[in-house]
Amino acid sequence: MTSETGKQYYGDDWWVSPFNSVGNDEMKVKLPKNVQIHDVTLRDGEQTPGIVFNKDDKVNISRALSEIGVHRIEVGMPVISKEEKDAIKTITSEKLSSKIFTLARLIKNDVDQSAESGVDGVILETPLGTPKRKQLGWSVEKAMDLTLEMIDYAKSYGLFVSTFGVDTTRTEEDIYMDYIKAVTKTKADSITLVDTFGCITYEGMSYLAEKVSKLTDKPLEVHTHNDFGLSVASSFAAVAKGASTVHVAVNGIGERTGNAPLDEIATGLKYLYGIDTGVKLNKLFELSRMVEKRSNFMLPSNKPFVGTRAFARESGISVAGWAKFNLGSEPVLPDVVGNKHEVVVGKKSGKGSIEYKLKELSLWNDNIKEEQLEKLMMMVKDKAQATKKEVSEEDFRKFAGEVLS
């Protein structure tokens, strides 16, 4: 089905709002034809307090990211340690389909070691935001001069260089636009809009991205954090104004409240904006579990798309409607991201939930009477009320045996 603008808003396994395309037209959205995914799980993601990735973790996660179609992988900083550099060199030696990047400060040794590690490019970070410069005691002139010098230095190695203005969104507008004008005259390959502390609104990012795009012909990238819960929205705002690369992390891990989650960005771009990034969405749940295990950073079960219970339901009314037509109760089917449906039985269950669970556990037969379903439902509700949690499969089987025998 298509909206009045002629754009599709639902298919066999998804159904979103027809107002999306209308809103895009009204707001003069300038979507890029293609959007690349730049994954920062192994660098910014590892900066999550308590997460440590060893060489084996980094190599295997890089392989998995490449296999699902991520375009670029930011694997770390070789100056951190000998093991870090060894891991990066091992990753680059594998000749993955993804381009391999490192983060580099405005220090020649950072760039030297990145080049020695065989990477394709560097994210060259400049302390640019006013609070960040104040914290470090840097003047605007120092930040600008070193940026221009290090762009040339990194390009002398033949590296792809993306300029990364740390704390972009807390930089005074005139200072930031002067930075954009200066960088535009260099050999830098792209400019990254960086919401380091997750404090820009959707409207603010939209304004910023549009203004920058008018000042430069260099491709725009966007890197956001989730301090106000806006990392995904801010990333989409930048894309809607032409940004063609989005920085993400598996499971949204990252410093403080984390980065924009890979699954939400890739899935949202496809179904909300009609942009297929080429990422194999049906592998996202599997990738999420892998990173969850290796990072020992557990996700909430209701995390969008890749939470173990992102597609679970308990309410009797919800289950009854969902059983008749799944998309009447969710925007995409779990198969899209490699997840699965689940029906939980507990205090809020109805007879429809009980019937579904009996069939799921191969306990159903056509001779079951209405009063038996009613009795089993009440036993489930009473157990859940008493324990203040869902009823386990073991207990459900026990109750069913008592009622149906």
Euclidean distance between CA atoms 405 and 280, whole angstroms: 47
Query: Comparing 82-91, 168-177, 360-369, which segment has the lowest mean pLDDT?
Result: 360-369
* pLDDT band for position 158 (cuts 50, 70, 90): very high
Quick one: which H or E segment has residue 252?
none
Return all residues near 386 (Cβ < 8 A) that are at least 6 apart: none
Query: What is 91-126 written as a DSSP string?
Result: HHHTT-SSEEEEEE-S-HHHHHHHHHTT-SEEEEEE
Residues forming beta bridges with residue 103, ordered by sequence position:
123
**Average pLDDT for the chain:** 95
pLDDT value at position 205? 98
Residue 28's pLDDT is: 75
For the chain, helix (H) and strand (E) counts, in that order, are 15, 12
Query: What's the CATH code, domain 31-295?
Result: 3.20.20.70
Which pLDDT score, from 0 to 100, does residue 405 have? 83
Q: What is the pLDDT of residue 2?
A: 65
pLDDT at 3: 60
Predicted confidence band at 175 (pLDDT cuts at 50, 70, 90)? very high
pLDDT (average), residues 227-251 = 97
Alpha helices by DSSP H, 94-139: 108-116, 130-136
Task: Give residue 5's pLDDT.
Answer: 56
Beta bridge partners of 285: none
> In which element (H, E) is residue 148 found?
helix 140-155
DSSP at 336: G
CB 305 within 8 A of CB 284: yes
Write a three-state SS string for 204-247. HHHHHHHHHHHHCCCCEEEEEECCCCCHHHHHHHHHCCCCCEEE
* pLDDT band at residue 316 using 50, 70 and 90 as cut-offs: confident
Closest-CA residue to 278 (of 121, 95, 66):
66
pLDDT > 60? residue 4: no
Sign of the four-CA dihedral 198, 273, 249, 158: negative
Average pLDDT over residues 380-394: 95
What is the percent of the chain with per-residue pLDDT over 70, rounded to a whole number? 99
Sorted by sequence, the CB contacts under 8 Å of residue 382 that are 6+ apart come out as: none
Q: Where are the domains of the chain?
A: 31-295, 312-404
